Amino acid sequence: MPLPTSLEFDIILLSLKVALWSVVASLPFALGIAHLLARHDFPGKSLLDAVVHLPLVLPPVVVGYFLLLLLGRSGPVGAWLEGWFGIVVAFRWSGAAIACAVMGFPLMVRAMRLSIEAIDPKLEAAAATLGAGRAGIFLTVTLPLALPGIVTGVLLSFARSLGEFGATITFVSNIPGETQTLPLAIYALTQVPGGDAAALRLCVISIILSLAALLFSEALVRRATRRGLGYDALGSR
Binding site for other proteins (CB under 8 A): 120, 122-123, 125-133, 136, 140-141, 144-145, 227-229, 233-234, 236-237
User: Which residues have C-beta within 8 Å of that of residue 76, sequence separation ≥ 6?
Assistant: 70
Rg of the chain, C-alpha, whole Å: 20
- CB of 130 vs other proteins, minimal distance in Å: 4
Q: Is the Cβ of residue 63 or residue 145 nearer to other proteins in the bound state?
A: 145
- CB of 150 vs other proteins, minimal distance in Å: 13
Within 10 angstroms of residue 167's Cβ, the number of other Cβ atoms is: 26
CA-CA distance, 44 to 161, in Å (whole number)? 29
Q: Is the Cβ of residue 124 or residue 164 nearer to other proteins in the bound state?
A: 124
- CB of 41 vs other proteins, minimal distance in Å: 15
Q: Is the Cβ of residue 73 or residue 223 nearer to other proteins in the bound state?
A: 223
- CB of 15 vs other proteins, minimal distance in Å: 35
Q: Is the Cβ of residue 48 or residue 127 nearer to other proteins in the bound state?
A: 127
Nearest to 67 by CA among 99, 41, 110, 105: 99
Q: Is the Cβ of residue 32 or residue 136 nearer to other proteins in the bound state?
A: 136
Q: Please, what is the angle between helix 6-39 and helix 182-190, to 10°?
A: 130
Q: Cα angle at 54 between 212 and 108, to 5 degrees?
A: 30
- CB of 115 vs other proteins, minimal distance in Å: 13
